[in-house]
Amino acid sequence: MEPIRLVDLEPDLGDFRADVIAGLSKERKTLPCKYLYDELGSKIFDAICEAPDYYPTRTELRIMRDNMREIAELVGPQAVIIEPGSGSGLKTQVLLEGLEEPAAYVPVEISREHLINSANQIAAEHPELEVLPVCADFTQPYDAPEPTREWRRRLVYFPGSTIGNFFRSGAADFLGKARKLMGENGAILIGVDLKKDPKLLKAAYNDSGGVTADFNLNYLRRINNELDADFDLDAFHHEGRHNEEEGRIEMHLVSDRDQSVTIGGERFEFRKGESIWTESSHKYTLEGFAELASGVGLEVELVWTDERRMFSLQYLVAKA
């Protein structure tokens, strides 16, 4: 196995601090969801994916396994797989094993240690594959490394329900960047969570084991550890709220009392019941997502769903 070549564009501590201060200074307090994924947060999210109440991961894995032959025929041989927000690579393993002679794999992940560990694992299990990890915030501009081996097309792989973390304008912006990244004759394979009974959504984002709560509260732990803050984790609790009007689930950290918090000398006041909005997960109809993609020059060539139409895996190409 060849040693992996890491492209390191990891955001620095100053960026993290500036984003946190800006978000908590708003009247409606928010925090960017990308910072949920430090090394511990990434590990906790892997545990969320295995929680009985959390349907997206197991549903998407089943869709992939049931339709892998058709996916492989569409993608073709010697593809370069670029995966923004690669995480642990669980679904990536299914994709790489099902494709015909993939040429290279480019995972893009904000958590450096998590990225290195997962990239090394992929490289060990696929010694014939060129693995080119990029440590970066995938919402910001970056270039995918050029493989040394011959390749035929680029596939931007964006599984899970991560597209739902963006507001609609942000989702369109991401798809536009992915269209440029895939290049000529490329494609996008993307997971899109579908609208469904709010009871299922609330259960998924307020799992009975409390794993999602641990994931959300780890954000405050990270701020304490890295930004010299004094959040009392016992004075906040997690809530996953369904916003019917906007078609999304929102993750909040709710203050259990009136309190003040300092971050590197800056002071923030919280009222009892006031929350910090840390993440959203927008849900789509098939028609609504196709319209979004069309607006940035993409068309949906094929859609696969589970039998209950809970989740979809979609194959996008450039509009003719």
Structure confidence by residue, pLDDT tens digits, 256-306:
999 999 998 899 999 999 999 999 999 999 999 999 999 999 999 999 999
Q: Which two tokens stand for residue 239?
A: 């809530």
The helix (H) or strand (E) run that includes residue 320 is none
Q: Tell me whether residue 155 is in a domain.
A: yes
CATH number at residue 139: 3.40.50.150
Range of 292's domain?
Answer: 55-196+284-318
- Asked, for residue 17, whether it belongs to a domain, the answer is no
Q: Specify the number of domains making up the chain.
A: 1
Residue 251 covered by a domain: no
Q: In this structure, how many other beta carbons lie within 10 angstroms of the beta carbon of residue 239?
A: 16
Per-residue pLDDT band at 3 (split at 50, 70, 90) = low
Q: Does 237 fall in a domain? A: no
List phi, psi (to 5°) of 185. Answer: 65, 15
Domain presence at residue 149? yes
More confident residue, 42 or 285: 285
Structure tokens at 142: 């970056």
Amino acid at 148: T
Residue 1 pLDDT exceeds 60: no
Residue 173 lies in a domain: yes
Q: pLDDT (tens digit, 9 = 90+) per residue, 97-118?
A: 999 999 999 999 988 888 998 9
pLDDT at 278: 98
Measured CA to CA, the distance from residue 98 to residue 96 in angstroms comes to 5
Contacts 24+ apart (CB under 8 A), 223-231: 223/20, 223/263, 226/13, 226/16, 227/13, 227/16, 227/17, 227/20, 227/263, 227/264, 228/263, 228/264, 228/265, 229/261, 229/262, 229/263, 229/264, 230/261, 230/262, 231/261
Contacts of 169 (CB under 8 A, 6+ apart): none
Flag whether 254 is in a domain.
Answer: no
Contacts of 119 (CB under 8 A, 6+ apart): 4, 6, 107, 131, 133
The stretch 39-43 carries a mean pLDDT of 91
pLDDT at 274: 98
Cα(6)–Cα(77) distance, integer angstroms: 25
Please state, in angstroms and as integers, the Cα–Cα distance from residue 32 to each residue in 19, 257, 293, following that order.
Answer: 7, 23, 24
Please state, for a pLDDT cut of 70, what percent of the chain lies above it: 99
Q: Is residue 202 part of a domain?
A: no
Neighbours of 228 (CB within 10 A): 12
